[in-house]
Structure 1
Amino acid sequence: MKKNMLLLFLLPFCFSCSSDSDSNENEMYFPPNNSDVWETETLQSLNWNENNLQELYDYLILKNSKSFIVLHNGKIVIEEYFNGHSASTAWYWASAGKTLTSTVTGIAAQEGFININNKVSDYLGTGWTSATLAQENLITCKNLLSMTSGLDDSLGDDVSPSNLQYIADAGNRWAYHNVYVKLQDVVATATGQTWSNYFNTKLRDKIGMTGIWYDSGDLSVYWSNSRSMARFGLLALNNGKWNGTQIINSNYMNEATNTSQNINLAYGYLWWLNGKSTYHLPQTQYQFSGKLIPSAPDDMYAALGKNDQKIYVIPSKGLVIIRMGNVSDPDNPTFASSNFDNELWQKINAVIN
């Protein structure tokens, strides 16, 4: 009798917990694949400050932006195009596209084609660098994901063996290096498919993105419209799940969007992380104190590309924010975070807070 009474007492709480979880999931909107339809939400319904919106637009125009999108729980709140750009125009992701490589590497791992803890040479064979065999065998796929290959980052983007030279044991040095693109070769070799075909089948087409990989010398750069970038950001916001389907393992996504090593706390698996006590930037070994982007939320993680291509993901606020365009400051081009990020977030905060 006592057991039955206890069950009757707990039952309403169980239903309440289940219903809260379901309603949270139901709050998230996903645009249909192969369609331009995308539900919207108004600033007024969110109690955002519309009076400060024009100042945000003026800043974006001044800083050579081409597009700016804000999603809240998947719905479009702001979508604007500037300087002759349009919703159908493709633009390059630059290094923001590194996060695409990170995600597809995770998909290949969950399908059993690769293990990110294995040596890169297990998939590409030995001699893919000019390091000694012992030095090369220290480099794992995870080292490429976390930018800790130990290869010399001062030699440019060329990833031919002669240009991939040892400077430190893998795992002991963080340096922003184009060698991460070797992960695309790892995936292609392990799956027996071209990188583009595997990417299209396992990620792009599953979430309704458009776009292509464009090879320019040693760089493989993704081009798409801005909404495709927003779709990918929405997938990240939902920890790899798209409209009820887990595209990429949530545990992997959690690892990818948290600190991946103990040198650059603000770096995951090709994702940048805010809210950490210190950070490193490309082309320097200096450790900076404080947050990567002081005016942005602490829980934000971001895909950051040359000339200020941006995907900001803020789980605590249910936000995905996209910026595509030319470099914001022609006199001071950067590969990752810049003063532009901090100033832009000040303008964003004036609208959303």
Structure 2
Amino acid sequence: MDVPLWAWLATVGLIVAMLVVDFMGHVRKAHAPSLKEAGLWSAGYVLIALVFGGFVLLEWGSDYGLQYFSGYITEKSLSVDNLFVFVLIMASFRVPRKYQQKVLLIGIVIALVLRTLFIVLGAAIVNEFAWVFYIFGAFLIYTAITQVRKSEEDEEFKENAALRLVRRVFPTTEGYVDDKMFTRSSGRMHVTPMFIVILAIGSADILFAVDSIPAIFGLTQEVFLIFAANAFSLLGLRQLYFLIDGLLDRLVYLNYGLAAILAFIGAKLVIHALHENEVPFINGGQEWHVIPEVNTYVSLIVIVGILTVTTVTSLLAGRRSATAVEVTAAAEEASTAVGEDDGEPRSSLGDLYR
């Protein structure tokens, strides 16, 4: 894929423009966005990502276009899982809702910079050592297993070493000082909880990148497409957070869907590694075409199919659970209407279902 300099400059310029709009239009004046605002802006960012994919289709052909869309959808779905952690971090630090946009946006900028470094480093390693696909594939399969085994006990935010170090080195204010990250008190510079929580969001994304970067390398090795897919999925994350904040608890099977996607891409990476095998103790160091590689069309269909089934199944399960709660509440209310007329029941559970 031959990407001219103007395409790189235009893409980076678009991303910078989107960040400027976010900082100047949303974060400068602290406020909690309404559901309508979050929905419109989230749809706008998705539309920009889709239009960019159309540009890739027209400029470089359907194969690269499908690689981009596969990567974007995968990164977007993995980012939803990231939102669970963001919710936990926000709750742990008791961030006022009107300041949460700033926390997320600065954290996203940090994540974008770090992921760009990971992408460049990953591309250099992949181009030099084909055997690294074995490691990427095995790691994604392992991550898929951990996704399935997630439990409620694991869903608790714990400060990492970097955050603890900041607290030890710098004096920290007891509470938030508007949306400031630093403030001067008693003649000394203090960091506020705002700075700590932004650092927490940014550092948490380092762990997310360890999953997502190998995953997208399993769908495309084009650095331009990997960078664009990551950037557009991250830039829409702030609006998505406020849009589906109340919906996260209903996506009860999301972990299983993400596990299936990661396992699929992990297997795809291992198969690709076998096709380019140079490891001496595997097939004598020769390429091994024992299993055909999965093409881009199949990858896109599998990813979209898994996400669709996971989402629909989660929402249906949530609806059944809500209905069961309503029936139980009605039954309990009916059972209290007993013995009010000379000890005789006025209604029964049987009447409830007639």
Fold shared, TM-score > 0.5 on shorter chain: no
Ranked by relative contact order (alpha carbons within 8 Å, sequence separation 6 or more), the top structure is: 2
More strand as a share of residues: 1
More helix as a share of residues: 2
Which of these two proteins has the greater Rg computed from alpha carbons?
2
Q: In which range does the TM-score fall when normalised by the shorter chain?
A: under 0.3
